[in-house]
Amino acid sequence: MGGYKVYTFTDTFTCGHECQIEVGGYSEKYARERATERFGGLCPTCQKAENERKHKEEAEIAEKEAVDLGLPKLVGTDKQIQWALSLRRNFYKYVEKLAMRADDAELENIFSTYPSILANHRDKYLEIDDEPDKNVQKKLWAESKETFVCATRSNIHMALYKFLKQTIASDWYIKNRDYKSYDLAEICGWLEEYFPLSDADKEEKRLADEIE
C-alpha cells in the first residue's frame, strides 16, 4: 500500500455542472470510488445553495411553531437566529420525547436528585424519605410513587416551557447544540430554577416581595 496522496478528478455532477474535485486516499482506486460517490450528488455550489434553502425552510417552520406555542422571538444576527430557531424547536421536541419515554426508575432518579420538581408533593416525598421505619416507608412509597412520577413528568414539561420563554439568546442554542449527548436527568439540571413552585414557596416569595 502506498502513502497517502491527494488525487484530482473532473466529472459532471447530477446538477449538470462539471467540476474538479480533490479526494485523498492511500490508493487511486479508493480515491476514485469516493470521487464517484461525490459526483453522484450536487456540485459544491449547488449543494451549498440546497443546504441554505433547507435551513431557511426549517427555520420558517420552527418560527411558525414557536408563534403557536407562544414562544418569544430570538435575538442575535440573522444567521444565528435562523439556525437557533431550528435548534430550539428540536431541543423542545427532544426533551419532551425524553420525558414521555422515561420509565419510573429514571423519573425516580430525577425527583430524588431534584425534590423541588415535585412542587406541592415535595414535602410528602421528604417526609417519606426521612421515615425511619423501613416497613412504613415502603408502604408510603408504594402509595405515593405514581403521584410523584406523574408530577415529575408534568413539571418537566412546565419547566421546559418556562425555560424556552426566558432563553431568547440565539447563541445559547448554538453553543448547546450537542444537547442530545445529555440524558434527561442532566437536562433537568438546566431546568431546575424553572421548576414550578409549591404553594408554600409561592407564599414565601409573595411575603418576601411585599417586604422589598
Q: What is the pLDDT of residue 198?
A: 79
Q: What is the pLDDT of residue 2?
A: 64
What cell does 59 get? 427555520
What region, left, alpha or beta, does residue 71 occupy, with left being phi > 0 and alpha being psi -120 to 50 degrees?
beta
Residue 102 CB: number of other CB atoms within 10 A? 20
Q: What is the pLDDT of residue 8?
A: 95
- pTM of this structure: 0.76
On whether the CB atoms of residues 56 and 82 are closer than 8 A, the answer is: yes
The list of the chain residues with pLDDT below 70 reads 1-2, 205, 207-208, 212
β 18-25/5-12 pair status: antiparallel
Q: What is the pLDDT of residue 182?
A: 95
Question: Long-range pairs for 180-184 at CB < 8 Å and ≥24 separation?
Answer: 180/94, 183/98, 184/95, 184/98, 184/99, 184/102, 184/106, 184/110, 184/156
On whether the CB atoms of residues 82 and 169 are closer than 8 A, the answer is: no
| Biggest CA pair distance of the chain | 79
